[in-house]
A and B are shown apart, each in its own frame.
Chain A
Amino acid sequence: MSDTVTSPAGAGAGVQYSPAADFWKRLKKNKLAMVSLAFLLLLVFLALFAGMVAPYDPYEGNMPMSLKGPSADHLLGTDELGRDILSRIIYGTQISLRVGIIAVSIALMAGMFFGSVAGYYGGRIDNLIMRFMDIMLAFPSLLLAIAFMMVLGKGIENAIIAIAIVSVPEYARIVRGSVLSVKENEYVQAARTIGCNDGQIIFRHILPNVMAPLIVRSTLGISAAILETAALGFLGLGVQPPYAEWGTMLGSGRGYLFNAPHLVTFPGIAITLTVMAFNLFGDGLRDALDPRLRR
């Protein structure tokens, strides 16, 4: 114990220090985050094995069974074409998670690129990029997404692109801020001294050190993306029929609000729970990753 090399942070504790284990220990203490994580893992499982889990074909209509409430055969009832709502919600996780993750990944990469370039070089480039981002931020993101959908056309791929584009500025701003705060640090200076080029400095030395806030933001971003997909679907712009998407289900079910409320309640609950899980998990991550909250 005494002869191991201890890092400065772990010096007082006298135990071998590992950031990952430390992070996990903190996260584990947050009950809400753990419940959310379990729920999210369940969603991932449902999305991956939808074909096996779903009791019915989500696209197979059975008109004589239309608009039936929850029963033993159809746990969450059937929709206006007699399709099983539970199966459609399960298949809906595929779309929601896919859109959430892909859109956020695209936005994250674009945001990292623009943010780090702006932050690292500063000056004119910084001004140009960030003012452009400010313009985009000036519009409500949903409105901007609808505008992009009008140009790109309907459909899931276009929804992903639209949602990705409108969330780029947030990531760019976070990255730029973090880059500004670390770029004058000694290890960056050192890297420069030993002759690293700008690309190496940015990607090898700066970005890894700004990952924490980005991870938190992306987790929250997924929930925002899922919500935006649902909104686009509700407006009839996103996923086209017959694909089951939660927002689209809400949109087509709202005509039956009075006589078959289960058409909108269950997809609504699915959206709420998923978005809440991502948010709570994101909060938990932030608490666990924030150095100021340590000890």
Chain B
Amino acid sequence: MLSRSKFTLFTVALLIMALALAGCGGKADNKQAAEKVFVFAQGSDPRGLDPAFVDDGESANPIVNIYDTLVRYKSGSTEIEPALATEWTPSPDGKEWTFKLRQNVKFHDGTPFNADAVVYSVSRQLPPQRTDDMPYASFTFGPVQKVEKVDDYTVKFILSDPYAPFLANLAMALAAPIVSPAAVEKYGKDFIDNPVGTGPFKFAEWKKGQQIELVANKEYWGGAPKLDKLVYKFVKENSVRASELRTGAVQAMNGVDPNDVKMLEDAGVKVIKNPGMNINYLAFFSNKKPFDNPKLREAVSHAINRQNLVEFLYQGLAELPNGVLPSFMPGYDKTLAPYDYNPEKAKQLLAEAGYPNGLKTTLLTYSTVRPYNPVGGDKLAAAIQADLRKVGIEAEIKTYPWKEYKEIYTPEIVKEGDMMLYGWIGDNGDPDNFLSLLETKEIKSTLNTGKYSNKKVDELLVKGRTAQAMEERNAAYSELQKIVEKDAPWVFLSHSKDMAAYNSNVEGMDLHPTGVIFFRDVDIKK
């Protein structure tokens, strides 16, 4: 009896082992034949996937891989190369641009890409069709009056004025990508959840709050991408994203927490640290009390220890700004010297502004991490709050989820608070792209978050935009930045280094200066 039960046990064990082995074998076989799935972790959902209606980096990341633009940036720089347009010629006065389009390109829905598609994509964002919820339309297309079809594969843009950043703008991730007219007509308002472009990856599925799945566009005009599937997974916590990367659950991530860099590098993960084309700033609502008073803005600027923020909060993985523009960008003026850290001066200014006994105020912030603020809005706000406290300014912090944040600061008069934290990620490498955030007309488009308005600044922006020679533009931008420096509509907190991390088996990964990752050439090594 004993031997019998032993025998049974033995048989059962054998069976289990056989099954397990079979399972393993099956899995291994599957894997070899299996698709190359690349999972990329980012901090939150995109606001949407229709390039006309969104303005955030989380949206830009999938958008650049679903859509193409007429011209595109070279890898690693903001120089322009052909994409959907093969060649282009400006008229001598700089007011007309003619583009020859690439032939035999199809949208993911099978409809052909041609001049009509370009006219449709752009025209829907030009007046009179432009609506208020298109945050980038006026920014990207600037003085574009009209876009015309010349023949099936030629289009002409007509501008009201010469516009220096025009070509670079057509390569931007937002507003500029060409959408399928048939799909926009089919989905209407829901196109934002059902994007159709010509890019290297096709949209497959969006599980809100979890992930977006894209599949390879095998017929991509630039050659089929090496990956079969690209998944954007949304993981809010920096540390969770980092540990998922370490365990191999994801292949790459952005928004690396400065605190995690060493831990990741020790674990064999590669960390990209590029000088970032971004600005992390605090904006005063300068169109209402109390910060319509420039003295008070100056006081706060003196009270924030920016050097400490860069050095300790961001652990040196950021640069100290001297103004709006990062140091590597055209238009940067190294002679600028914004208000330094000087708590005594701050107290004095506070008293002069009529608040000798201190000031109670409200600081608005967002709860997520941002590419320009990798430690998250709440921590940055707490650090600033602690600094302000030392000079007698009591700042109440109000934190909002990223998706709600926009609704809070959008109204012309913001009721919820007096200052806000925000940032900007450059789109096209042109100084106008940063500096026009302070233009009066951008208040309406919500890009001018602090509602700062100065006629002289507006004039200089126009001057810089229409001038053809770079020296002329730089002179205008220098003058402009000096005014801004004095007016202090923002406190320039940091230029965060662009960081992304990826596993060592990933090839061809690069973080573009515009903050996005193009996946057309990315591969996973076996």
Contacts and interface: CB of A to CB of B under 8 A. Distances in A.
A81 B259 contact: no
B257 A241 contact: no
Contact of A63 (B257, B383, B396): B383
Interface stretch (B268-276, B306-314, B487-495): B306-314
Given A60-B386, A64-B312, A241-B385, A259 B262 contact: yes
Interface stretch (A20-28, A104-112, A116-124, A250-258): A250-258
A246 to B, nearest CB: 16
Contacts of B239: 254-258
A257 B375 CA distance: 14
Contact of A236 (B311, B367, B387): B367
A179 B7 CA distance: 67
Interface in B217-260: 237-239, 242, 257, 259-260
Contacts of A82: 312
B366 to A, nearest CB: 12
Given A241-B397, A257-B239, A258-B260, A63 B382 contact: no
Contacts of B386: 59-61, 81, 83, 242
Centre residue among A67, A80, A255, A259 by max chain B CB count within 10 A: A255
A255 B311 contact: no
B379 interface: yes
Chain B interface residue number, banded: 20 to 34
B74 interface: no
B397 A240 contact: yes
B378 A81 contact: no
B382 A241 contact: yes
B381 interface: yes
B399 interface: yes
B308 A64 contact: yes
B236 to A, nearest CB: 11
Contact of B313 (A80, A255, A259): A80
B453 interface: no
B360 to A, nearest CB: 14
A66 interface: yes
Nearest to B379: A80
Interface in B331-381: 367, 375-376, 378-379, 381
Interface string A274-294: 000000000000000000000
SS of A interface (majority) = loop
Contacts of A240: 396-399
B263 A259 contact: yes
A240 B367 CA distance: 13
Contacts of B238: 255
A63 B310 CA distance: 10
A248 to B, nearest CB: 10
Contacts of A236: 367, 378, 399
B478 interface: no
A186 B262 CA distance: 76
B406 interface: no
Question: Counting chain B CB atoms within 10 Å of each CB, which of A66, A81, A240, A256 scores highest?
Answer: A81
Contacts of A81: 313, 379, 382-383, 386
B389 A63 contact: no
A80 B237 CA distance: 16
Nearest to B376: A255
B305 interface: yes
- In this complex, the interface size class of chain A, counting residues with CB under 8 Å from chain B, is 20 to 34
A260 B239 CA distance: 12
B308 A63 contact: yes
Interface in A254-275: 254-260
B276 to A, nearest CB: 20
User: Which of B257, B311, B386, B399: most chain A CB closer than 10 A?
Assistant: B386
Contacts of B308: 63-64
A153 to B, nearest CB: 10
Given A59-B386, A59-B389, A258 B263 contact: yes
B348 to A, nearest CB: 21
Contacts of B309: 63
Interface string A52-83: 00000001110110110000000000001111
Interface centre among B259, B262, B387, B390 (most CB of A within 10 A): B259
A252 B239 CA distance: 12
A254 B237 CA distance: 9
Interface in B385-422: 385-387, 389-390, 396-399
Interface in A27-70: 59-61, 63-64, 66-67
Contact of A256 (B259, B305, B313): B259
A61 B367 CA distance: 20
Contacts of B382: 61, 81, 241-242, 252
B234 to A, nearest CB: 17
B389 A255 contact: no
B378 A61 contact: no
A59 B382 CA distance: 10
B397 A255 contact: no
Contacts of B313: 63, 66, 80-81
Given A63-B309, A63-B311, A255 B263 contact: no
10 contacts: A64-B308, A67-B259, A154-B399, A236-B367, A236-B399, A240-B397, A255-B237, A256-B259, A258-B263, A259-B260
Give 7 nearest A-B pairs by CB, closest first.
A61-B386, A63-B308, A63-B312, A241-B382, A66-B312, A255-B239, A258-B263
Interface of A: 59-61, 63-64, 66-67, 80-83, 154, 236, 240-242, 252, 254-260
Given A61-B382, A83-B386, A241-B385, 19 more contacts: A61-B383, A61-B387, A63-B313, A80-B313, A81-B379, A154-B399, A236-B367, A236-B378, A240-B399, A241-B378, A242-B389, A252-B378, A254-B237, A255-B238, A258-B239, A258-B242, A258-B259, A259-B259, A260-B259
